[in-house]
Amino acid sequence: MNSRVQVSYQPIIDIEFSGLHLIEASAGTGKTYTLSSLMVRIFLEKYLPRQVIATTFTRAAAAELKSRIRARLVETYRYLDAKRSFTEQELLTQAEQEPDLLLQHILKHFATRIAYACERLKLVIDQLDELFVGTLDSFSQKLLREFAFESGKIERAQITDDAKTYSRQLIHDVLREWIQSQPQTVIDALYLAGELKSVDSFVKLVEDSLNFSSAHFKLPEKPTIQFEQLAQLKQLATEIDISLLEAYYLLDGEHYKHVSGTVFRNGAFNKLFSECLPQLLQVLKQSDIILVFDWSLAAQRELIFKFLGQLADQKVFKKCPAEISDGFYQHPCIQQIQQLFGVLKNYAEQFDQLHIFLKAYLCVEVKKRLPQVLQNKGETTFSQQIRTLSEALKGEQGQRFAVFVQARYPLILVDEFQDTNQDQDDMLASIWRHPERYQKGCMIMVGDRKQAIYGFRGGDMLTFLNAYKDIQAKHGREYKLIHNHRSVADLVDVVDALFQRQIDFGEEVQYDPIRAGTRPHPVLIEQNNHNPHPLRWLMLKDKETEAQQVAWKIRDLLNQSHAGQLYFQKDTQTQTLNEDDIAVLSRNHDGLDKVQFELERLGIRVNRPSKRSVFDCSIAQDVGALLTAILHPYDEAKVKRALISRLFAMDLKQLLQLEQTAEGLSQFMTGFDTIRELWSTQGFLVAWQQCLIQFDIWQNLVAAQSKDNERVVVNLRHLTEILSQHSEKYSGAQNLYHWYLKQLSSPLDRDWELERKLSSEAGVQLMTIHQSKGLEFKIVFLLGADKPFRENNKTLNFSTQDVVQPDSSQTLTQRVVAIADKTYLNEIELKQHEERALAEQNRLWYVALTRASHRVYAVLQDLDGKSVSGLAFWKNRAEPFQHRCCTDEMVLEQIPQAIHLTKQTSVIEIQAKRFPEQRFYSRGKTSFSYLAQHLKHKAGTDLLASQSNDAVLAEDELDLINTAEASSAQPIDWIKSNFPRGTLAGNFLHEIFEHIDFQCSDDWVIEIRRRFKNDYSSLWQDLLSKYNESFPEQEDAENLLYQSVADWLKDILRTPLYQGFRLNQLQQDQYLSEFPFYLALSDRVLAMTRIQQLFAEYGLHMPELLEARSARYLNGSIDLVYFDGQRYHIADYKSNYLGDDLADYRSDSIAQSMSLASYWLQAGLYLVALHRYLQVKMQDYQIEQHLGGATYLYLRGMNGEAEQGYYYWQPSIEFILRLDAILGYFAEDKIA
């Protein structure tokens, strides 16, 4: 680290919001508190929420950060609001006494503008929803959508949750292509040697390489294999006679006693010549010599190849006469063996090199092809999206894009900066760290390089170090948080002393001394001692007893707590230690599995984060069986399989008894068939809920007492939710069913399919160190704290190389990724990888040791103290580590007997509170359609027999169908009787009236044709087919039909309404079509009962209306508002079908329809809305003079004659004013 860089330790007050800033926040130093405080300053001093971006590593961390920001803003606002009346001097005096750095800073800088600060904070709190707080992945998605045009990435892609499927498919395709391009002999050899494996064996390697897509991938040279020499080996093998060497290799041979027993142990020399060599020579003598590379002969080949090296080094014999050893080394048979198997070894090495090349080739090709495959599917991944954004920011056009982004978001705060990968940092640098623009905005990077532990999924310390150098070169400021508020002071001191024994963690990570913070902690009291020895070394006598000792120690701690000897105390309050206060951390899951087993054996509750897919549980298999039975209801075998699942709580014996009954399986078959029909007609969720209810599945799941009842119920709800969501994507029962079966066969670890946490989950928390990052526990056990580090399942090797940047001519260290194989990597590359791995392990143990607030038990197994891995990297330095706050913990020799607390139960009298007469309802909106929803239910009951099956009702229209078979005395026109019914037809007629000129019919047919063709083609096809059926011999049917509709419109507009007025008298400036409104209501529950009583007083009876308790606004759209020269009226178009006779559309029939459909309420509400509108718009408005009535136009019955097809209603002035008063005014309530 550059010692010349000035470091600040108070970023809350020292930071200025321009340029580059790096805050290094060590573990437990109050990072979130600092960030929320900085956000208050940012919003108060410079930017509004919509101009700021805050990113962090996980969605959970983002949610917490945003809530903390809001809380800090509200806290600051309330604090300042209480000081509005203070003078400047009083505020400055208060600032000197204020311990909170943020409030101290604000009081000093806003002493003369305290009212402004309050109003500014109030505005910010109101606008806080505009602040973006999320992950870098979600931010990149936001940028590509928000700046699609500027970025040139207009095509929107969906984030796929199944990226591994694409990778796997690409591996399959690339592997198949490569195999087809190779000579058959090469493929045979690779296959026989076991190096040409299935696709699954390459998936992890390729996925790992994709995490480092920006790194340079070292592609080895492809070996050229010539098989001509291999063919000559057959002849050479036939010439070798091993029996000539019997004097050397037979156990009773003359010279066998001189063979080195150190090199050839347990008769290995005899076994080599009597078993291995004959087997290989026998294969070489066969016609297909390539069989010698079969994987079953791998051990024999390795022994021979090793023997060739011993021959070269002349290490076969111990001290013996030279003539004996020389006779063996120079024996013609030995010369032939060296020649034969030397060639064979060369071929084996070439095949190994080819295998390495194949793995590297797969990584490179999948990386190259994956973006195109995703683009073709209209999908992307988060990592690919970041890469796309980084590429869009390159070049001249990319810099223009970056300027747009920085102008829109001048300040960005990046949390967990040490975990950003190269693509993410490239994106951030292009926008906020550009050499020409970094001073125009502000970039605050927050992180701790000591906690960079996610190298396995793309995190790279080299990325952080390069960014750090970039920040230094651009004169960025550096800040450090050095007060640990998480842990008690003694634990902070001892951990700090331990880490200071070796401050160099590796990879340029240096440890900075940490001090205890001021946050008050409860005191852990043990045997009347306060926080005794917070760091304890538990040295095992036998490393195999690690899990047992940890479980025993946890029981011992709980026993002490139950006995009152171990507890937490804060002021005068005490709290016992329970299982939830304890955590066990491990580098891997194997150690946690063993501890979990031991704890559960002792009856101690365990809480472990689930990494299991919900598709991997037994209930998922049962759901699959039930879906199979539903889709094959008459397949007896499939039905039986579903019935013996836990969903039906039926065992084999009960199933056999059921089959003996007369009804047998028929009731279930019928039920499944009904549900299948429901699925096909109404969708999955309706059918599934019916199934769960019909067969009492929820009750069956918990019918028997079992500890996994809650898990089963939660998993079934989870599966129901997943199936419901995916039913929208996979239309059709078979598609959804086959998708579900695919998930059962190959469960993955996608976030949405992992088992959910149970409400009852509590106990000792078991997790890996990676999972524990960012968390805090009171007592922590660290497994394998000095266990030697071994890198398991190593697939890639990480090294570095220096490259010169073409644009700046600066030297930059670049990451190099290669296939992990020693045969083609040099020593420097291998050493760099090892140093990187060890440095990350040191950081991992730093994270582990800083999780506890009160005590740490480090479990050790190296009795000799020679280990340098884990915590031993610091503990086992030159001299033993000693500190007043650490001690050696004694190993327990026997299992502690459990102490159980006796719970005292007392009967508590419970009295219900009086039900409140007034309740709070959130403000919402309603409409006439909602209030009159009772109609659909009433119609479904009263008119069920007379409804046509295919009729689709409009939102507020009800068709009344007379089922009596009688001829009409005065039938309505064909077009009016046969025009389709329902929402679609009603919408069509409404749109026609909205767009035609009432007085000029010249363009009506054109408008009708255009509407039918463009927007209502299905409606037109239905109408035309009916017309052709009725008039099969009619020519030019389409034009005649268009004209029929136009003639119908003429009938409507020329029908005399009140006082002989016709709609075709209206000029275009005298009416408004589809007049929208929002009607404010009182800030109380809408009094629907009073409204209904008001209508009844005036002889207007309607069915019971729905309540709208939360309604504070009523919205709607009036079909027609017009001025007839004297008053303002409304009209509403109704396409309701009341019958085929003109008599069905006279005033009395329409009035009956209006009562049944509650159109009186609609008309009253619309007239009140018009009344309020005119009050606002007309200065001399008088309700008696200007407000007219409502005309309901039943379009099918209008034929141009008076009193036909409409109902005109003009309520009294008193009625309108009373209804207006009942509805109320929100503003008046607020003033009152």
Which residue stretches of 749-853 are H helix?
769-772, 827-849
Residue of higher predicted confidence among 880 and 363: 363
Question: Does the structure show a pLDDT above 50 at 1?
Answer: no
Residue of higher predicted confidence among 1059 and 946: 1059
| Same domain, residue pair 586 and 644 | no
- Looking at the chain, the number of H-run helices and the number of E-run strands are 50, 33
Place of tokens 């044709």: 1009
Q: Report how far residue 297's alpha carbon sits from residue 193's, in angstroms, rounded to the nearest whole number.
A: 9
Q: Report how far residue 26's alpha carbon sits from residue 503's, in angstroms, rounded to the nearest whole number.
A: 14
pLDDT confidence band for 285 (50 / 70 / 90): confident
| Other Cβ atoms closer than 10 A to 542 | 11
Which residue from 1076, 1056, 1057, 1088 is spatially nearest to 1190, judged by alpha carbons?
A: 1057
* Average pLDDT estimate for 919-946: 47
Tokens encoding 439: 């001073």
Residue 35 maps to a domain: yes
- From 421, 448, 481, give the residue that closes a domain: 481
Tokens encoding 721: 């939710």
Question: Does the structure show a pLDDT above 90 at 124?
Answer: yes
**Cβ contact 237:287 at 8 Å:** no
Tokens encoding 182: 């190779």
Domain, as residue range, for 456: 7-69+130-157+381-481
| Weakest mean pLDDT among 379-393, 495-509, 935-949, 1078-1092 | 935-949
pLDDT confidence band for 1228 (50 / 70 / 90): very low
Residue 117 maps to a domain: no
| Same domain, residue pair 326 and 399 | no
Tokens encoding 729: 């994507």
| Same domain, residue pair 585 and 534 | yes
Question: Does the structure show a pLDDT above 50 at 950?
Answer: no
27 has binding-site annotation? yes
pLDDT at 1113: 73
| Same domain, residue pair 393 and 441 | yes
591 has binding-site annotation? no
* Average pLDDT estimate for 299-305: 89
pLDDT confidence band for 946 (50 / 70 / 90): very low
Dihedral pair phi/psi, residue 479, rounded to 5°: -130, 155
1132 has binding-site annotation? yes
Long-range contacts of 1084-1091 (CB under 8 A, 24+ apart): 1084/1224, 1084/1229, 1085/921, 1085/1109, 1086/926, 1086/1111, 1086/1223, 1087/1222, 1088/931, 1090/1222, 1091/1161, 1091/1219, 1091/1222
Residues with catalytic roles: 1132
| Same domain, residue pair 246 and 288 | yes
| Same domain, residue pair 187 and 202 | yes
Give SS3 for 159: strand
CA 1203, 1204, 1206, 1207 torsion-angle sign:
positive
Q: Report how far residue 711's alpha carbon sits from residue 701's, in angstroms, rounded to the nearest whole number.
A: 10
56 has binding-site annotation? no
pLDDT at 738: 94
Alpha carbon of 86 to those of 109, 111, 116, 319, 1000: distances in Å? 14, 9, 14, 101, 73
Alpha carbon of 1215 to those of 40, 277, 875, 1180, 1211: distances in Å? 55, 113, 90, 21, 6
Question: Does the structure show a pLDDT above 90 at 401?
Answer: yes
What pTM did the predictor assign? 0.74
pLDDT confidence band for 611 (50 / 70 / 90): confident
| Same domain, residue pair 385 and 373 | no
1119 has binding-site annotation? yes
CA 84, 88, 90, 94 torsion-angle sign:
positive
* Average pLDDT estimate for 240-254: 87
Q: What CATH number should be reported for the domain holding residue 1046? A: 3.90.320.10
Residue 905 maps to a domain: no
29 has binding-site annotation? yes
Angle between helices 636-643 and 652-660 (to 10 degrees): 130
Question: Does the structure show a pLDDT above 90 at 66?
Answer: yes
Question: Does the structure show a pLDDT above 60 at 945?
Answer: no
Number of domains in the chain: 5
* Average pLDDT estimate for 830-844: 95
| Same domain, residue pair 560 and 428 | no
| Same domain, residue pair 540 and 454 | no
Question: Does the structure show a pLDDT above 50 at 951?
Answer: no
Tokens encoding 118: 């309050």
Residue 801 maps to a domain: no
pLDDT, tens digit (0-9, with 9 covering 90-100), for 90-116: 999 999 999 999 999 999 999 999 999
Residue 252 maps to a domain: yes
pLDDT, tens digit (0-9, with 9 covering 90-100), for 1094-1125: 999 999 888 876 665 555 678 888 999 999 99
Chain centroid, CA 1022 distance in Å: 45
Question: Does the structure show a pLDDT above 60 at 918?
Answer: no
In Å, the largest CA–CA distance within the chain is 140
pLDDT at 225: 84
pLDDT confidence band for 798 (50 / 70 / 90): very high
Question: Does the structure show a pLDDT above 90 at 481?
Answer: yes
Residue 897 maps to a domain: no
Residue 267 maps to a domain: yes
Alpha carbon of 117 to those of 44, 73, 89: distances in Å? 7, 11, 17
| Same domain, residue pair 420 and 519 | no
Q: Characterize the bridge pairing of strands 1206-1209 and 379-380.
A: unpaired
Residue of higher predicted confidence among 381 and 103: 103
31 has binding-site annotation? yes
Q: Report how far residue 510's alpha carbon sits from residue 980's, in angstroms, rounded to the nearest whole number.
A: 80
pLDDT at 944: 29
pLDDT confidence band for 323 (50 / 70 / 90): confident
Q: What CATH number should be reported for the domain holding residue 596? A: 3.40.50.300
**Cβ contact 542:509 at 8 Å:** no
pLDDT, tens digit (0-9, with 9 covering 90-100), for 1026-1069: 999 988 888 888 999 999 999 999 999 999 998 889 999 999 99
| Other Cβ atoms closer than 10 A to 664 | 12
pLDDT, tens digit (0-9, with 9 covering 90-100), for 532-580: 999 999 999 999 999 999 999 999 999 999 999 999 998 889 999 999 9
pLDDT at 1101: 84
pLDDT at 932: 59
Which DSSP symbol is given to 904?
P
pLDDT confidence band for 958 (50 / 70 / 90): low
878 has binding-site annotation? no
* Average pLDDT estimate for 1010-1014: 89
760 has binding-site annotation? no
- From 365, 380, 395, give the residue that closes a domain: 380
pLDDT at 497: 96
pLDDT at 962: 46
Amino acid at 367: K
Question: Does the structure show a pLDDT above 80 at 791?
Answer: yes
Kindly state the percentage of the chain with pLDDT values over 70.
Answer: 93
Residue 894 maps to a domain: no
Alpha carbon of 989 to those of 976, 1055, 1106, 1118, 1135: distances in Å? 12, 17, 28, 14, 8
| Same domain, residue pair 868 and 955 | no
| Same domain, residue pair 1014 and 1002 | yes
Q: What CATH number should be reported for the domain holding residue 721? A: 1.10.486.10
Which DSSP symbol is given to 971?
B
DSSP 383-428: HHHHHHHHHHTSHHHHHHHHHHHHHH--EEEESSGGG--HHHHHHH
Q: Report how far residue 33's alpha carbon sits from residue 415's, in angstroms, rounded to the nearest whole number.
A: 13
